Structure 1
Amino acid sequence: MSDESLHGFPPDYAHARADFLTAAREAGARLRSFVLPGHRGPDGGELAVDTAYLGPSAPEKLLVAVSGTHGIEGFCGSACQTRVLLGEGVARSAAGPVTGVLLVHGLNPYGFAYLRRVNEDNIDVNRNFVDHAAPPHSEAYEAVHAALVPADDGAFVPGELVARLLALRGGLGAERLQEAVTRGQYRHPDGLFYGGTAPTWSRRVFETVVAEQIAGAAHVGYIDLHTGLGERGVGEPIFRGGLDADARARAHRWYGDALTASEEGTSSSTPIVGNTATAVAAGVGTATRLTAITLEFGTQPGPEVLVGLCADAWLHRHRAPADAVRSELKGLIREAFCPADADWRGRVLDRAREVFGQALAGLADGK
């Protein structure tokens, strides 16, 4: 591993990928790579989704951990996968005669490399898993789009954006504003949380991974690693489903009272559509018990995170990717999704260690 990665999180996508692959090889994992066509990283390097698998060829039980669904959030997710599951040998010790561990690294490698939450087409991969022949419509987003992406699109002035956001929050309330912005929208390609008009490359890759590396297991524990919502440094397990009637209760047995659910109003996340757990549920079917969560690490207050997202969207409307990634404005989105302070990073790794242990214990228990 790079020196910086040993003492913190990876400094960029290239280091994150190199560290992950090195740790996976040292653990004896079976590797598979899907290279993003037509794009290279800021350093000219390859962009790819990599999977590492430890365990039997046909596992009865399977822990799946995904990083980088939201690009820049991959700094945190990659560190959890590389330092906890691989670096500490958790994945290798967990794999056994009936149990496998599958790590999906950098599901949105373009966003990871260019410090974006979205992909190469401004699409939110975690809102892309919908039926694009009849995508859900968010009327609420129509009311906020102009404030987030003003028509005149002049210089980015954080104070003006904050004033617009405060006005929206005053009219809608904080929770309704969050849901309007984040639920997912399918009509504004230049907007935030845009789900696209067709399956993205990342979605197609992930559906291949589900079909070829996840489906067939009798019980899947699924963890999609994210940052940006909730109390700073706290890792919140958010229930994302399972097709059997016991899925919600089973997730509570695994993760305890910390488990939340967007649809129940107990989560820092309001309800969303088109997330990766949708693809897992569809791909494994009713024959598999699925216990799926998002593990969400809080970073900054919601308004600051939203300013970072708006700054990044503005930046990529006005500059080429290679120039945008070097802009000082990138500091806003980086702090919003991967704070630099050592305390936050230490708390993240400690919490990830705990949650991975809970998932593995739940799979072993079989209930």
Structure 2
Amino acid sequence: MSASHFFSKDYIQARDRFIKSINELKGQGHQVSHDTLTLDCKGPNQENLCIDIATIGSIDSDNLLLYSSGIHGVEGFAGSAIQLSVLDQLKNANPITDYCIVFVHIINPYGMAWHRRVNENNVDMNRNFIKDHQGEPEGYEKIDTFLNPKSVPPKLDLMFLPWGISLLLKYGFTNVKQWFAQGQYTRPQSLQYGGDTLQQGPKMILNWLKKNLNNTKKVFGIDLHTGLGKSGYDTILVPDDIKEDKYNILVSLFGDHVSPLDPTQGVGYRITGDIHSGIVKEFSSIEWLTITQEFGTFGPTTVFKNLRAENRWTQNNQLNNEKDIMNHWSRKNLLNTFNPNNKRWQQDLISRGNTVFKSVQEYLSKLD
């Protein structure tokens, strides 16, 4: 079966296929439970937008694999494809008895359905898992007018490169990258906005976890992303303050794919309010080991330029119809930026997605 088989054309198809896969798994004798968290907004075809959580194995197990996708909306096309391919592999395996797997399918269904990276409130969900939604990086104000122009984007933006280069020369690449990417809580229409309160999706997920992780002792979390790095190559991003013993475990599992979230090293940067740090703080009695598996798509200039153009269009257009807004070239570019229609890229994703998943399965199966 080709890798492209697992990629869906839209949110509706991805969700239908996910539900079908877990039902097939259940029909083959696996222990499966399914919960649906429904948001209070709709998709382009008036479809319900839902976060689907499937538990494979017993939720009362000591050890758990938390496997999530789509926190950045359009990145969910790739994340869903990897999850579907993993479920396909599980159909050929014996039922899991010594740990359990919790699939969280599309944390930001609004973003996936409407081809945005953020949610219905322009919130970057991976900056929202935080209690104090205040402040911004000290240098964000210095680059705000470049990040968030108050006009619709031209297809040929002649000012983009000279303006951007002048800021990089003035402040340095590392500073500009960190100021932009960290997350800000003061400008609701601007890039990297983390919200002024916990959003409905994160709230529902945390409530589900609080209800169900009563007997859990250890969790290995994998959150699937696309965008940063060399095309098709997956970087295993970890907190830059990770303890040495945990870092060594991850290196033993994933080798030189492991990279800290440090703006001076590799493709990453420090962020506030990400899903794993937010969840870990809520469950201090559980031992956590978490990674972000990030698959590269295009170069950083292309990724940023298309992010900027899409938000610029969404915030400044004069249209009233959401479907018309969605059909703009900037949304199509954004979709292709984080979900390239490239068979080699798709093959790399499915292959490495399964490799990393199996490595974590083996790790969990050996725990006491």
Cα deviations by residue, 1:2-31 (Å, 9 ceiling, x for unpaired): x99962511111111111111111111311
CA distance in 2, matches of 1:242, 1:18: 39
CA distance in 2, matches of 1:241, 1:262: 5
CA distance in 2, matches of 1:63, 1:27: 17
CA distance in 1, matches of 2:353, 2:306: 25
CA distance in 1, matches of 2:222, 2:360: 9
CA distance in 2, matches of 1:109, 1:94: 31
Contact 2:262–2:268 (CA under 8 A) maintained in structure 1? no
Aligned to 1:10: 8
1:289 aligns with 2:287: yes
1:35 aligns with 2:35: no
Give 1:23's match in structure 2, choosing from 21, 24, 38: 21
CA distance in 2, matches of 1:81, 1:241: 27
Aligned to 2:338: 337
- Two-structure CA RMSD over aligned residues (Å): 2.3
Compared CA separation, residues 267 and 93, structure 1 to 2 (3 A)? farther
CA distance in 2, matches of 1:25, 1:232: 33
In the TM superposition, 1:1-367 aligns within 5 A as 7-28=5-26, 29-37=32-40, 39-83=41-85, 85-89=86-90, 93=93, 96-132=96-132, 135-151=134-150, 153-157=151-155, 158-214=157-213, 216-240=215-239, 246-263=245-262, 265-285=264-284, 287-317=285-315, 318=317, 319=319, 320-366=321-367
Cα deviations by residue, 1:170-215 (Å, 9 ceiling, x for unpaired): 2223322211111101111111010111101111012123212345
CA distance in 1, matches of 2:103, 2:152: 42
Compared CA separation, residues 57 and 331, structure 1 to 2 (3 A)? closer
Contact 1:94–1:100 (CA under 8 A) maintained in structure 2? no
Compared CA separation, residues 143 and 242, structure 1 to 2 (3 A)? closer
Indicate the larger mover: 247-256 or 310-319.
Answer: 247-256
Q: 1:291: Cα distance to partner?
A: 0.8
CA distance in 1, matches of 2:64, 2:193: 31
Indicate the larger mover: 171-180 or 257-266.
Answer: 257-266
CA distance in 1, matches of 2:303, 2:105: 24
Contact 1:226–1:295 (CA under 8 A) maintained in structure 2? yes
Contact 1:210–1:284 (CA under 8 A) maintained in structure 2? no
CA distance in 2, matches of 1:49, 1:272: 24
CA distance in 1, matches of 2:363, 2:144: 42
CA distance in 2, matches of 1:126, 1:34: 18
Contact 1:123–1:193 (CA under 8 A) maintained in structure 2? yes
Contact 2:180–2:192 (CA under 8 A) maintained in structure 1? yes
Cα deviations by residue, 1:252-309 (Å, 9 ceiling, x for unpaired): 2322232111138433111111100012212321x32211000000001111111111
CA distance in 1, matches of 2:251, 2:214: 23
Unaligned runs of 5+ in 2: 27-31
Unaligned runs of 5+ in 1: none
CA distance in 1, matches of 2:333, 2:214: 39
Contact 2:227–2:297 (CA under 8 A) maintained in structure 1? yes
Identity %: 26
TM-score by length of 1: 0.91
SS at the partner of 1:43? coil
Amino acid at match of 1:60: D
Contact 1:78–1:106 (CA under 8 A) maintained in structure 2? yes
Contact 1:72–1:334 (CA under 8 A) maintained in structure 2? yes
Q: 1:251: Cα distance to partner?
A: 2.3
SS at the partner of 1:53? strand
Amino acid at match of 1:326: N
